[in-house]
Structure 1
Amino acid sequence: MASNFKVDDLVWAKMKGFPAWPGKVIEPKPEIKVRSKKNHQFVFFFGSENYAWVPNESIWLYPEHKSRFTLTSRIPKGFKEAMESVEDILKANAATASASVPEADASSSSGDLDSNKSDNPDLPSIEEEIAQIFGDKSEPTPKKDYSREPLASKSSAKVEGEEKEGNVFDNMESWMKKKSPMGSANGDADEENSGEDEPLSKLSDSKEAPAKEKRERKPPKKNEDFVTDFDEEAKTKKVKDDQVEKVKKERKRKAESTPPRPKVKNQKLLVKFGGTPSKCSPIVSPVKRQLVPNADSGTAIIEQKNIIPTPAKIGFIGLGIMGNGMVTNLLASGHEVTIWNRSPHKCKEHTRVGALKVDTPVQVVKSCDITFSCVSDPAAVKDIVFGNSGILEGICSGKGYVDMSTIDVETVTDINEAINAKGGRFLEAPVSGNKFMAETGQLIILTAGDKKLYKDCYSCFEAMGHRTVYLGEVGNGARMKLINSSIMGTMLTGLAEGLALAEKVGLDQEEVLQVLDFGSLSCPLIKDRGKAMMEGRYEPENLVRNFQKDMRLAINMGDQTDQPLPVTAVSNELFKKAKAMGYADNDVSAVIRAIDA
C-alpha cells in the first residue's frame, strides 16, 4: 500500500461497509472538512458521482491492486461502469504518452500516465465532471460533510427537506387541548388527520368493506391469572386497520424518497435503487429520521384510542429506540410524565411538549407514583436499579416500578425482591415489537407481577400498546418474551437463507416473497423483513445487537432447564456473525449479510 498519494492518482478507495471502489484523488473541496487527524485523501468515485475524504490506509493504487479488488460476483450497480471509466483513462493516457514521449523514455513516463490526461479531447477532466454535476460556484449546492457517513446521492438534499415536515411536537399542545369524540367514525378520523399527500388521505376510501375483526382465542385454562388486553373493554377501543395501513403507506412513501440503495440481482420491484456507495447501503449508517412520528401517524392512532389518562404521576427511564416512542405516546395521550436518560440530549424534544426532565433515576421515582423503564440489557437494568442514585433509593410504600426491558428471569426476580423489601410494588412488562410499533402505540406488552399495579397502569399500557397480557407471577413475562424472540430469530434466519438461495438459483426474490404471501407464511414479519432484506434496507427497527442478546438469554434459559435449542443456537450464531461484520446497530434484516458472506 502506498503511504503517499498525489492528485490525479487512480486508486481503489474503500468506505466502511462498501467494496473497494475505483476512484481518483482530486483537489479537496474547501467546504468539506476532514474530521480526523489521520492522513486522508479527497477521492472522487467513478460511476457514483460522489466524493469523500478517505484515510490513507483505505486507499490502494489502481493498477497494482486491480486483480485483488475486481469483483466477479454480486457486482453492485455502477461498479462495472466505474472500472470502464478508469480503464478508458489508462488507455487514453498510455496512447497519449506513447505518441508524445520518445520510445527510449517510455519506461520513465509510464509511472505518471495521468499527467497527460488533459490532452485527450474525448475525455473531460475530473474537475469538468464535478462542475457538470454540481454546477457553477455562483449557484452553491447544499454543504454536507461526507467524512463521517457513506456517500449520499444527488437526492439527499431533497430527503433532508422532507424530514423537516410534520413534526408532531409542532402541534402537540393544541392537539392535547382537544378531546376526540367517543366512538368517532372512521371517515371522521380520516378527515381530521389527513395530510397534504393525496394517497394517504384516500387510503380508507379504497376499501369498500370494513376489515373483519380478528377472532379472539380464549387463554389457556391452566393459568387462571392469564388476562389479555383488558378483555371486552379493549375490543371497543381497537385501532382501525385502515389507520395502521395509513401509517405504513406514509413510511413507505418516505422510504422510497430516500437516496439510492443497493440493488440485488433479479430485483424488479424497486424504484431506481442503485448499489453505488451511498448513504443507505449496504452497511447502513442509520438514516436520520424525526425523533418522533409525525402528526399523521402515531398521534392519529393515539387519538383514535380515546384514552382517559390516569391522574397518577408517571416517570419514564430510557429513551432508546423503543422508549422514545413510548414516551411520545404517553405525552400525546395526556399523561403527566417525568423523564431521565443517560444521554440528556434525547430528552429535548419531549420537554418541549410538557415532559419534566430530572438528573437521576432516584429523582424520577421520588417525584412519581409509577416509574417505567426500558433499557438495553440486564446490566443496564441493574445499574439504574441498584446503582448510585438508582431507583431503589427512592422506592417506598405505595411507589410502583414497571420494567419493560428484555432481561433474564434471575435479574427480574432479584429486582422484584428488592422492590418488595422496601414496600414498593413491582411489575415486569417486556414488549414485543419494533420501533415502528413503539411510535404508533402498537406494541404487545407481556406483564407479570403485582396485579393491582397492572390495573393502575391501564391507561399507560393502552397508550403504548395494541395488546396487553397479564401472565401471573414474576418471571413469566421474561420467559414469554424470550420464547417469542427465539421463534422470531429462527424465522428471520430461515427467511434470509431462503432469499439467498433463491438468488443463487436464479429466482426473482420478489416473486419468492409473493409466493410466501399467498400461503400460510403470510404475516407482517415475513412481508416487512423480507422486503427489507431484498432491498438491502437496514434502517433500525429492531437492532441486531439487542435481538442477539434476547436469543442468547433464551439459550441460557434452555440450558437451565435442560431443553435443547439447536435451531435457536444456529440462528444466534448468524446474528453474532452479523454483529461482528459491523451490523450491530442496523435492523435484524441485516442478518442476510451474514448468510451471503
Structure 2
Amino acid sequence: MADTYKLGDLVWAKMKGFSPWPGKVIPARDNVKKPSKKHCHFIYFFGSENYAWIESANMKPYFQYKNRLMNNKTSTFKEAVECIERYIGENNITVPDVKEETNDANHTEKSVTPSKEKKIKTTPKRRPNSDASSGGSSTKRIKTSDLLRLKDAALDSPSSHNAKARVSALLNRPVHIERPDTPPLDVGSVTQTLKDKKIEPSGLKFGFLGLGIIGSGIVKNLLNSGHSVMVWNRSAEKCSDFVNAGAKEMMTPSDVIAAADITFSCVSDPQVAKNMVFGNCGVLQEMSADKGYVEMTGIDAETSQDIAEAIGGRGGRYLEAQVQGSKVQAEEGTLVILAAGDRSLFDDCQSCFQAMGKNSFYLGEVGNASKMNLVLQVMAGVTLAGLAEGMALADRAGLQQKDVMEIMELTSLACPLMVEKGKAIIEGGFPTHLPLQHMQKDLRLGMLMGDTLELPLPLTAATNEVFKHAKRLGYGEHDVSSVYIRTRF
C-alpha cells in the first residue's frame, strides 16, 4: 500500500497499548533517532504535546475517521480532541466534505471526497471549570492552547529543534521537553530573614564550588552577610552576577582552594563531587594543613568517607554538611544543615551556617550527616509519590484538585511539602525548586544504604521506579512535583 501522508496532515495515530490519538505530521527533530522501518512519520500528539515516530499502517486521516474513533471517554483524550479542533479553527484549516460508504463489516465509514471542499472555522466548546485553578488537567490545557496558537511555522521552526527533552508519555518513545525557565536570582537583594539574624561575619576567606539552584542561594547570603567569597562554576557565565556583588571568580577548583581558608562544594551528585576532589585541577592539588573542605553535595556515606580520607591525607580538615531544603529556603537562608566530621571546622563555619540556614546540627563522625540526609530524602520521596498518585486519582475520578488541596490543608496531612507541591501540580508548570533527578538520585542512594544494612525498603524501591520513569520521560530537570506526570499518564 502506498504511503499517502505528507507534512501538515492531521491524523489519528496509534501506538501499541494506546488508543488512536489526534496528531499532525511534522518535520522530524534532528535530535530524535529515526526508526529503521520504512513509511514512518514524525507525529505531534495534540493535548499531550508529545512527539513520536509512527508507521503509516498505524495512522488514519483525521477527518475521515473522526466519528468512528471518538469513543474514548477519558478526560485526556477529550482534551486532545479539543486541542486539535481549536487548532483547526484558529488556523482556518480546510476541511474536506465526506460521504458515507459501506465497508465489509457492514457499517458505514466516511471517506474523503477531494473535489468538494469547504472552509469552516471551528469554535470549540469550553469545558466547565477551565480556569487555571480548577485542577491539573485544566492547567495542562491552558499550556497546550498557548502552544497551538502558533502557526505551522512555529511548529516547524529551528528554535523548536533546540528544545530540551520533550517526552512521550510512552515508555519506548522518549522525545524532548523544554525545561521551565528559572527566574533570575537577584544577588544583591538582602532578605529580611538575613537582616534579622544580625550575623557577625568570620574574618576567614571562603571558597565556593558550584552555583546551581542551591549553591547560588547560599553564596548570595554569604556575600550579603559580609563574608569574603571566591567562586568557581563549570559554566563561567553564572559567576558574573556574584562577581558584581563582591565575589571573586577563580579559574579552577584548585585555585579556589589555594586562595581560601575554607572551601564549600555543592555540585550535582557523588561522581561530580569526586571529580572536584580527584580530577584535573582539583581540590587535592592545593590542599594542605591550613585548609578546610566542606562537602555540601547530596552524597552517600561511602563517597564522603573517600573524600575525607583524601583530604586528611593532605593534612586538611573535612566536614560533610548536607542541606535540607530547596531553592526558596536556600535564597531565604532557612536551610537545615546536617554536619559531621571535623568539629573545629564545624565551629569555624558557624557564621556561614547562620547565613545559610535556620539550624545546623553536628552529628559526629563522617558519614552520619549523609545517612541522616538520605533517611529524610527517602521519607520526602515516598510522600511526594503518594501525593502525586492521589492527585492523579482525583483527576481521573472527576474531582477538582483544588478541592482536594483545600480539604487536605484542614487535615493532619497538611505540611509545607504537601501544600507547596500540591499547588505546583495544579499549576502544572513545575518550575525547578528541587530537581526531580536529584530526588531520584537520593532515593537510589537510600536503597544502596539499605542494601548495605540488609534492610528491605520496598516502598522506597517502588517510589524510585516512579521517579526513574518520570526522569526518563524528560522531567529530570523539572521540579520534583513533576513526578505527577508519571502517575497521571
Q: Normalized against structure 2, the TM-score is what?
A: 0.75
Give the C-alpha shift of residue 367 in structure 1.
0.5
Report the CA distance between 1:416 and its aligned residue. 1.0
- Cross-structure match for 1:454: 346
Q: 1:77-125, CA deviations, whole angstroms, 9 ceiling, x for partnerless residues? A: 86444444678888953279xxxxxxxxxx9983576xx54xx5x649x
Number of the residue aligned with 1:276? 145
Q: State how far apart, in whole Å, the 2-side matches of 1:263 and 1:471 are.
A: 45
SS of residue paired to 1:519? coil
Q: Are residues 1:354 and 2:253 paired?
A: no
Judged with a 3 Å threshold, the aligned counterparts in structure 2 of structure 1 residues 76 and 324 are, in CA distance, closer, same or farther, namely: farther
Does residue 472 in structure 1 map to residue 353 in structure 2? no
List per-residue Cα deviations over 1:244-301 (Å, max 9, x = no partner).
xxxxxxxxxxxxxxxx97964787xx899555364999976333233314777x6333
Q: Deviations over 1:165-194 (max 9, x none)?
A: xxxxxxxxxxxxxxxxxxxxxxxxxxxxxx
Paired letter, 1:110: T
* Cα distance change on mapping 1:431 and 1:90 into 2, 3 Å: closer
Distance 2:64 2:224 in 1: 60
Structure 1 residue 73 corresponds to structure 2 residue 69: no
Are positions 1:93 and 2:93 aligned together? no
Distance in 2 separating the partners of 1:47 and 1:489 = 28
Q: Tell me if the contact between 1:315 and 1:364 (Cα under 8 Å) persists in the aligned partners.
A: yes
Greater mean deviation of Cα atoms: 55-64 or 539-548: 55-64
Distance 2:448 2:73 in 1: 42
Q: How does 1:55-204 map to 2 (within 5 A)?
A: 62-63=62-63, 72-75=73-76, 79-84=80-85, 93-94=96-97, 110-111=113-114, 116-117=117-118, 120=119, 123=121
Which residue of 421, 437, 440 maps to 2:313?
421
CA distance in 1, matches of 2:13, 2:328: 36
2:289 maps to 1:393: no
Partner of 1:402: 294
In 2, the alpha carbon distance for the partners of 1:487 and 1:420 equals 33
Are the structure 2 counterparts of residues 77 and 10 from structure 1 closer, same or farther at C-alpha, using a change threshold of 3 Å? closer
- Partners of 1:321 and 1:3 in 2: CA distance: 49
The alpha-carbon distance between structure 1 residues 56 and 498, as it changes in their structure 2 partners (threshold 3 A), is closer
Q: In 2, Cα distance between the equivalents of 1:408 and 1:77?
A: 46
1:322 alignment partner, one of 210, 214, 234: 214
In structure 1, the residue matched to 2:454 is: 562
Percent of aligned positions that are identical: 39
What's the CA shift for 1:316? 0.4
* CA deviation profile, 1:300-340 (whole Å, cap 9, x unmatched): 33223222221111100011121111111111222211111
CA–CA distance in 2 between the matches of 1:524 and 1:571?
Answer: 20
Q: CA deviation at 1:20?
A: 6.5
Q: d(CA) in 1 for partners of 2:185 and 2:311?
A: 32
Over residues 473-514 of structure 1, what are the superposed CA-to-partner deviations in whole Å (9 max), with x where a residue is unaligned?
111110100000011111111112222222333433222222
Rounded to whole Å, the distance in 2 between the matches of 1:320 and 1:574 is 25
User: What is the one-letter code of the residue matched to 1:469?
Assistant: F
Quick check: 1:375 aligned with 2:378?
A: no
**Are 2:226 and 1:334 equivalent residues in the alignment?**
yes
Report Cα offsets for 1:404-436 as digits up to 9, x if no partner. Answer: 011111111111111112111111001111111
Per the alignment, in what secondary structure is the counterpart of residue 322 of structure 1?
A: helix
Residue in structure 2 matched with residue 299 of structure 1 by the alignment:
191
1:24–1:45 contact (8 Å) kept in structure 2: no
Question: Shift of the alpha carbon at 1:530?
Answer: 1.3
* Contact kept? 1:77, 1:263, Cα under 8 Å: no
The secondary structure found in structure 2 opposite 1:276 is helix
Where in structure 1 are there 5+ consecutive unaligned residues?
29-33, 97-106, 130-259
1:378–1:407: 8 Å Cα contact kept in structure 2? yes
* Distance change >3 Å, CA 569–CA 69, structure 1 → 2: farther
CA contact (8 A) 1:263 1:536 kept: no
C-alpha contact 2:136 2:428 (8 A) present in aligned 1: no
Report the CA distance shift for 1:85/1:550 in structure 2 as closer, same or farther (over 3 A). closer
Corresponding position of 1:5: 6
SS at match of 1:385: helix
Q: Which residue of 2 aligns with 1:443?
A: 335
- Is the counterpart of residue 287 in structure 1 residue 287 in structure 2? no
2:388 corresponds to 1:496: yes
Higher strand share: 2
- Could you list the per-position Cα deviations for residues 551-597 of structure 1 after superposition, in whole angstroms to 9, with x for gaps in the alignment? 11111111111122111111111111111222111111111222223
Q: Which amino acid aligns with 2:234?
A: R
8 Å Cα contact 1:437/1:443 also seen in 2:
yes
Distance 1:324 1:64, change over 3 A: farther
For 1:317 and 1:588, the matched residues in 2 are separated by: 24
Match of 1:364 among 213, 233, 256: 256
2:427 to 519, 535, 549: 535
Distance 1:588 1:595 in 2: 13
8 A Cα contact 1:261 1:278, kept in partner: no
Partner of 2:172: none
Q: Which amino acid aligns with 2:183?
A: Q
Does the 8 A contact of 2:64 with 2:111 survive in 1? no
123 and 412 in structure 1: CA distance in 2 versus 1, 3 angstrom threshold:
closer
The code of the aligned residue for 2:191 comes to: T
Distance 2:351 2:276 in 1: 25
Determine if contact 1:377/1:407 at 8 Å carries over to the other structure.
yes
TM-score, normalised to structure 1, is: 0.62
Cα displacement string for residues 427-466 of structure 1 (whole angstroms, at most 9, x for unaligned residues): 1001111111112111111011111111111111111112
Q: Contact 2:96/2:114 (CA < 8 Å) preserved in 1?
A: no
| Cα distance in structure 2, aligned partners of 1:514 and 1:544 | 25
Q: Partner of 1:580 in structure 2?
A: 472
The answer to whether the Cα contact below 8 Å between 1:486 and 1:568 also exists between their aligned partners in 2 is yes
Is the alpha carbon distance of 1:77 and 1:429 closer, same or farther for their aligned partners in structure 2, counting shifts above 3 Å? farther
8 Å contact from structure 1 (residues 358, 364) kept in 2: yes
Is the CA contact 1:326–1:438 (under 8 Å) kept in the aligned structure 2? yes
* Cα distance in 2, alignment partners of residues 21 and 531 from structure 1: 30
**CA separation of 1:399 and 1:508: change in aligned 2, threshold 3 A:** same
How many pairs align?
428
SS of the residue corresponding to residue 474 of structure 1 reads: coil
Match of 1:225 in 2: none
**Alignment partner, residue 375 of structure 2:** 483
Instruction: Write the distance in 1 (CA, Å) between the matches of 2:85 and 2:24.
Output: 11
RMSD: 4.2
